Amino acid sequence: MKVTLKVWRQENAAAKGAMHTYELDGVSSDMSFLEMLDLLNEQLVTSGEEPVAFDSDCREGICGMCSLMINGQAHGPEVTTTCQLHMRSFNDGDTITIEPWRAEPFPVLKDLVVDRSAFDRIIQAGGYISANTGSAPEANSVPAPRDKAMRAFNVATCIGCGGCVAACPNGSASLFLGAKITHLGELPQGQPERWSRVVDMVGQHDHEGFGGCTNIGECAAACPKEIPLDVISQLNKDLRTALKNGH
Ligand code: SF4
Ligand code: FES
């Protein structure tokens, strides 16, 4: 396959970026999207140009690092992570536009790499419980109802990729936040500090500059881990309860 790539290039956080066009030949439909970018970078290095900076780590859909806006969609045309997207989803002769996540709390560091440490600070603001309880207890020592355990497990699959923020016209991180609040708040072990946790995490979310949720649902449609929209209802319910109880 031969493709035309329009790629966002930006020297550093302070520099003004621009789209650059590259022609890439020899792309196999079996390549992952990131392998296609590796091929582009080989071509750039060979011709003495600087390779395109982009994030990746596991390349197995686990870590959430590979954040790219492809043809205007978070992670591209399939509901998956960018590393699990394959070139068979494109056609010979296609023009593919590749940009970083576009959200103020995720500043561009270089080319396609953004700083997502705002997510880390949201998690730090809530944590699990602040008391030091020593080493991890035996897993079955606190029985958890099966439905709650399954719900917590399912939403804990959020990999913090930021696709929900990139897809949301408000730049809201409510789906990510709802997933974290739900997985920590569903289990018996998460009940201590449940209410202060939600207030602190929502406060940090807003402080970072993420927008509010207006029930558009783009986030859940783009989420590679299929985090359901109702975690946002759970988030709002917990927040209301917390504020009603004076937290
Ligand atoms: S909720 Fe989904 S899209 Fe958002 S950070 Fe988690 S895995 Fe990524
Ligand atoms: S590189 Fe880890 S999820 Fe894509």
Residue 27 phi, psi (nearest 5): -85, 125
Range of the domain at 161: 116-131+141-244
CATH number for the domain including 75?
3.10.20.30
* Cα–Cα distance, 10 to 113 (Å, whole number): 9
How many domains, in total, are found in the chain? Answer: 2
Taking the centre of ligand 2 as the mean of its atom positions, its distance from the CA of residue 172, in whole angstroms, is: 22
Q: How many CB atoms lie within 10 A of CB 50?
A: 12
Name which residue sits closest to atom 1 of ligand 2, judged by CA.
Answer: 59
Examine the domain organization and report whether 55 and 98 are in the same domain: yes
Alpha helices (H) along 14-72: 33-46
Examine the domain organization and report whether 215 and 98 are in the same domain: no
Taking the centre of ligand 2 as the mean of its atom positions, its distance from the CA of residue 36, in whole angstroms, is: 15
Examine the domain organization and report whether 92 and 155 are in the same domain: no
Q: Which residues surround ligand 2 with Cβ inside 6 Å?
A: 56-59, 61-66, 81-83
Tokens of 218: 């783009």
Examine the domain organization and report whether 121 and 232 are in the same domain: yes
Q: How many CB atoms lie within 10 A of CB 93?
A: 9
Ligand 1 pocket check for 40: Cβ under 6 Å: no
Examine the domain organization and report whether 11 and 104 are in the same domain: yes
136 occurs within a structural domain: no
Task: Among the bound ligands, name the one nearest to the CA of residue 180.
Answer: 1
pTM: 0.94
Examine the domain organization and report whether 106 and 121 are in the same domain: no
176 occurs within a structural domain: yes
Examine the domain organization and report whether 70 and 177 are in the same domain: no
End-to-end CA distance of the chain: 58
Q: How many residues does the chain have?
A: 247
pLDDT at 243 over 90: yes
- Percentage of the residues of the chain whose pLDDT score is greater than 90: 88
Examine the domain organization and report whether 79 and 162 are in the same domain: no
pLDDT of res. 218? 97
Q: How many CB atoms lie within 10 A of CB 29?
A: 12
Taking the centre of ligand 2 as the mean of its atom positions, its distance from the CA of residue 83, in whole angstroms, is: 5
CATH number for the domain including 164?
1.10.1060.10
Higher pLDDT: 89 or 135? It is 89
Distances (CA, A) of 190 to 140, 182, 196, 197: 15, 10, 12, 10
